[in-house]
Structure 1
């Protein structure tokens, strides 16, 4: 049995929905038209033969361009095809100082706005800005610190809507030595604060050494405190360095990890390891990453992304003869390197400085998606037992990518910043075969950095709902009814049956028995241990010259001490960063724990009155999704209600998800989702729905007509409308269970989305904060 993707997974309505909503342009009638348009744009300066080879790889679903390429290439829109950037160095002044690198605060803010307007996410290092309480010599005033300036970026992001309904994505980083780092770590614990940012602390090796030795740590800056109350004054980088505070390194580390334990942020970047292992450390210093963390970048750096579809690279899947199709894999890599190199020459760039940086170093981000599906087809369980195969796949991709880049250098020339002797010292080259290293020295190389494992949520759905990036499968299959169109007089519903690509193949193998237990290698994310997640992440990172985007998903009941150890393990394992997620009562759960019940859910009797007893979730629930167009802000909101059916036939809501592409209301809806679902699982929550109906918005209400209503009814607020829908829905009525499994999405709140790869990504509704 060949691994070529059958029609089945590609014909899933959800794949068509994603294509239509995210990537279709103009009158394109089918994905093949989209592929032709993309290749026509990317290969505008290449040969017809090369373009035809690339087009065949897209049609075969072997090669997956990044989402911005799909959305922009060949459209003529003034949008970039590059997913993400890093800001120019932010100077510690409002305007640009011409004799210093980078841009002043206001010009840098302008770069971020224009970048997001054209479709690119952006990361910023705020460590260059003077801390709270520092003297401002020019004005004789006192600095308010980093956080208020981040608020400026956050406010800008709210107003930017780029490339259709796409919202901006940002990463804010601050060094572990900055005096404002304590406020930075806890900033997002405040309700609705900096909600358009991902945030990470850049951690140095000497901090980790101080932590290990139980020593103190100093927070300081090269600008003095206005009150002169310094702990000490030292010399650093040839300038005075004023110590603002001294505290145990363990205390600071615990603040980072305890805050993340409860609030899922900040992430951690091991910044000196990033720079030490960077191929281009001889000509750049990295201080920040793109919004999802997989691409550490210098000022004005870009991430030009595309992925090999590993789900498509197994011969004789699920049999004893299963084998990786190495020739097909290498062919896809060769196409991918040339494809991404072409993008650098054909894509618009938001700023001239970004274009100049991209063309000087020709950085590309070739990676893969579908690792989880490949392991399933190879009958290898995701986790520690998969490390050898993960490294073997990574090695094959890396070697072929570097060989192809050498061939491109012979054809097109080396990247302008290439230095033969300096590049030869790159640590990553030590892993490559001797003949390839010799060829690099002889002929040079076209691309300075080549490999990245990025979030692939939406494009992976488009390609048959393959497992995303380096992550395991999160859900095998489920049904979803979506209101896809709503007018004043009618609603149009579309029902999606969604199946994971690996599950689709497995369930159609000869002899498949739905009543039998799944084999050990058919495993979803929440059945894996934290050690399994870390093991695969470290194995994947080993053959990537940039970085990877992966979230270590931790169970809600995980003790803090064990959670803290995850970061120490990640550092010891050689990872360049660590992003975790543990569901908690302080922030909405991204991954909802599924029970170990069989495919047909057992009936569990539950109380109807309020109680402290939490109703166990059956594996199968019936649900529906209602699309609400709220005219006050012009945003779409998706209200999903999954029902529990009691033995006597009484139907009650069991879990409620509210999603929207509006980042402005994301955390509010996440909190409401958490509260409503918690109440529903403890009994009849109708009283709470009625309370929501009484909420009035200062922005005013709207006249809305819901399903089965003869005419529109005034809702004093969006919250009140949601309450009304829930109250009207909560009537006893027997229903038939529809099979559904999966995890809770941060956007559409279905069990179809992941906090994975360092990014919030949904493989059902297509929401991605980064992608």
Structure 2
């Protein structure tokens, strides 16, 4: 059989571009993270070289099935699809195909059984996967609860939360390709005895920072929530009922913590397993880090996304080019199936299980751009209808492509005809996934996944603190066409002004260019539900809430998600991350944070921001905390004056020497910053994570250095201060309210919208979408 895609609907071949058309920031992302480098860190390949390397490596899989096929022809088809930016595979495929590492998958799930051997095998395997560029998901539901008896030692169990810290520390020290930390998903069953500890695990800042948390919620639990009934907590070690809880109380705790911190999310585990394509292999218990890929233990998945912004035809009245989309889908399915065969998996168990089910995850990006090109507002019924038409087509055509491959290559080996009851025989157990495309969409020059645009303009650091305002190209084109474009307007938008307040902008433009925070949370859920309807696996999407959203607002969205058939949901309320620096994004703004105004009745005054350090008060008040470090016992003192935190002192048990001198200089500079109006959180952020050769443990947590210890003490102080402010201002639903009945409006903290912190690499603002912090300027991602 010839290697060319015989099933394409169009007979004409699209031209293969000699050069890939990339925006400046896309090229910067490729140079920093994707292109092959020499020992000095300089790129030794071009973007065209990279795509040719990937196409050649993946097309070689065709020889497994036909030694006489024209591999070069298919290589050109794969290359053309990527070079025209119509389709891109997940990042590990772009980074590693044709290179020594050769690990091409993005998503993995590892099993954790109730034994020390299983737990630390999983830690080791996690490190190997993260080193190769993948993310990992785990269910900790099989571990016995904290304080349960351990028969072999006569002691008591540490419980899931304690062991999660081991995974968190391992993730901390393994960088992916030398550029970023790996990401994890931790899932715990709603009926686990430690579920309340799990729900509140990230309440304290700086804990489990490399994990997303999700609760596995069952249909039975949701029915108990609806009826007001109790439900049982069951010890997974012996199957005995541990205790009973009122379902409504646990659900309220989940909602309150999600409102407050953004974690935990929820996955509807029964719904996931109702659509498990291989139930005879086991029950699905976990997902990948962003929640869109449910997987069996040791399964992995290769993802790829079609750029919908390139699937438009027409000059005046535009429409979706379904012929082009059909060809793209079929070629992409074949590409992803070939990836499985050339992949160098990090573990033999992963290779075996992945090749048994051959799951692929074809998704989309550029959906918001597609809508704008068609003249359809994101928050309109027409947008939902477009989503249904487009994703319905992607689902149908991907299944057809997989069927056709199965006719030639055979169905996936784990196929069990007896349980499929005459259903379609496919090459792949699942075909479609809506995955995060933060970095890929920067390369492709389109909007991310199925998310609406987060902002129309943003400020990006280029070099040497030079800043440049980047404007959404669709908005820039509309502004120039309609005659309201001006650099002053773009600057105002980049600094945080809202489009709806601009009198010079026509109303129809305001309606068309709606951004994430102008869409109701219910609107986000409706869009996710439409895509989920036509997706084999799950959908990565963030439901955005403004800072003044209430606990009942979050509850309503969680209930709506269950009612509308979602497999899981992630919410993000502006300002809910405890370690989130609140930058306005303005070139003139301080790079640390916007300080909330004090709430009436609070005993904590707001610190001013003077131009020079304030003088040290004659009398200060504070506390001293003892921390064990690798250099010895460190005593850290944090003092405050009438304005706020003003100084840090430290004393090392081993006095004198270089260590003491360095500590004194660190504390002097930190104190100078604090008296200059810099937020303590920003000072802590600069010191946090600094490593020295001597790492110690204190209170069950790693202390990486004396500077890291100072950061932790400052963070502990901030957490205590936050708790005091929360209590005094009654920010959380009052006792007895539990998020029900009369809504209590959350006091406005003056938090700036559309901000999720500052990029640690380029200084641009981060956005939180698809379950992860992403920098639109340089492509940095925390996942």
TM-score by length of 1: 0.75
User: Is 1:72 paired with 2:96?
Assistant: yes
SS of the equivalent of 1:275 reads: helix
Structure 2 portions without partners, runs of 5+: 1-13, 38-42, 63-70, 487-503, 599-603, 616-643, 653-657, 679-751
Distance in 2 (alpha carbons) for counterparts of 1:163 and 1:498: 28
- Matches of residues 326-365 of structure 1 in structure 2 within 5 Å? 326-365=322-361
The corresponding residue for 2:408 is 411
Aligned counterpart for 2:60 among listed residues 44, 50, 54: 44
Q: Output one character per residue of 1:44-84: Cα deviation in whole Å (capped at 9) or x when no partner.
A: 233211110111111111001111111111222x2521112
The corresponding residue for 1:559 is 550
The corresponding residue for 2:212 is 198
User: CA offset at residue 674 of structure 1?
Assistant: 5.8
Distance in 1 (alpha carbons) for counterparts of 2:673 and 2:54: 40
* Residues 337 and 404 in structure 1, CA contact (< 8 A), matched pair in contact too: yes
User: Given the superposition, is the C-alpha separation of residues 494 and 204 from structure 1 closer, same or farther in structure 2, using an over 3 Å criterion?
Assistant: same
* Residues 752 and 762 in structure 1, CA contact (< 8 A), matched pair in contact too: yes
SS of the equivalent of 1:382 reads: coil
* Residues 595 and 606 in structure 2, CA contact (< 8 A), matched pair in contact too: no
The corresponding residue for 1:278 is 276
Q: Output one character per residue of 1:413-447: Cα deviation in whole Å (capped at 9) or x when no partner.
A: 2111112342357xxxxxxxxxxx6xx3xxx3111
User: Given the superposition, is the C-alpha separation of residues 184 and 479 from structure 1 closer, same or farther in structure 2, using an over 3 Å criterion?
Assistant: closer
Aligned counterpart for 2:221 among listed residues 207, 225, 228: 207
User: Given the superposition, is the C-alpha separation of residues 91 and 456 from structure 1 closer, same or farther in structure 2, using an over 3 Å criterion?
Assistant: same
User: CA offset at residue 109 of structure 1?
Assistant: 1.7
Distance in 2 (alpha carbons) for counterparts of 1:151 and 1:584: 25
User: Is 1:516 paired with 2:516?
Assistant: no
* Residues 383 and 535 in structure 1, CA contact (< 8 A), matched pair in contact too: no
SS of the equivalent of 1:82 reads: coil
The corresponding residue for 2:391 is 394
* Residues 85 and 121 in structure 1, CA contact (< 8 A), matched pair in contact too: yes
Distance in 2 (alpha carbons) for counterparts of 1:482 and 1:702: 38
User: Given the superposition, is the C-alpha separation of residues 622 and 171 from structure 1 closer, same or farther in structure 2, using an over 3 Å criterion?
Assistant: closer
* Residues 308 and 366 in structure 2, CA contact (< 8 A), matched pair in contact too: yes
The corresponding residue for 1:31 is 47
User: CA offset at residue 282 of structure 1?
Assistant: 3.7
User: CA offset at residue 568 of structure 1?
Assistant: 0.3
Distance in 2 (alpha carbons) for counterparts of 1:526 and 1:701: 48
- Matches of residues 295-306 of structure 1 in structure 2 within 5 Å? 295-306=293-304
The corresponding residue for 2:198 is 184
The corresponding residue for 1:15 is 26
- Matches of residues 714-753 of structure 1 in structure 2 within 5 Å? 743-745=755-757, 747-748=759-760, 752-753=765-766
Distance in 1 (alpha carbons) for counterparts of 2:245 and 2:211: 27
User: Given the superposition, is the C-alpha separation of residues 160 and 698 from structure 1 closer, same or farther in structure 2, using an over 3 Å criterion?
Assistant: farther
The corresponding residue for 2:470 is 498
The corresponding residue for 1:82 is 105
User: Given the superposition, is the C-alpha separation of residues 681 and 153 from structure 1 closer, same or farther in structure 2, using an over 3 Å criterion?
Assistant: same
User: CA offset at residue 286 of structure 1?
Assistant: 0.3
SS of the equivalent of 2:459 reads: strand
SS of the equivalent of 2:208 reads: coil
- Matches of residues 422-433 of structure 1 in structure 2 within 5 Å? 422-424=419-421
Distance in 1 (alpha carbons) for counterparts of 2:76 and 2:475: 31
User: Is 1:767 paired with 2:764?
Assistant: no
Distance in 2 (alpha carbons) for counterparts of 1:41 and 1:133: 51
SS of the equivalent of 1:34 reads: helix
The corresponding residue for 1:56 is 80
* Residues 651 and 660 in structure 2, CA contact (< 8 A), matched pair in contact too: no
User: Is 1:93 paired with 2:82?
Assistant: no
Distance in 1 (alpha carbons) for counterparts of 2:324 and 2:581: 35
User: CA offset at residue 715 of structure 1?
Assistant: 5.6
Distance in 2 (alpha carbons) for counterparts of 1:191 and 1:329: 45
User: Is 1:573 paired with 2:589?
Assistant: no
Aligned length: 625
User: CA offset at residue 500 of structure 1?
Assistant: 2.7
Structure 1 portions without partners, runs of 5+: 96-103, 224-239, 426-436, 484-491, 593-616, 624-641, 644-652, 658-672, 705-712, 728-739
User: CA offset at residue 547 of structure 1?
Assistant: 0.2
CA RMSD of aligned residues (A): 3.5
Q: Which of 743-752 and 367-376 deviates more? A: 743-752
User: CA offset at residue 508 of structure 1?
Assistant: 5.5
User: Is 1:684 paired with 2:612?
Assistant: no
Runs of 4+ in 1 over 6 A off after TM superposition: 3-9, 676-682, 687-693, 696-704, 720-727
User: CA offset at residue 765 of structure 1?
Assistant: 2.8
Distance in 2 (alpha carbons) for counterparts of 1:312 and 1:186: 44
Distance in 1 (alpha carbons) for counterparts of 2:671 and 2:305: 43
User: Is 1:367 paired with 2:363?
Assistant: yes
User: CA offset at residue 764 of structure 1?
Assistant: 1.8
Distance in 2 (alpha carbons) for counterparts of 1:160 and 1:215: 45
SS of the equivalent of 1:192 reads: coil
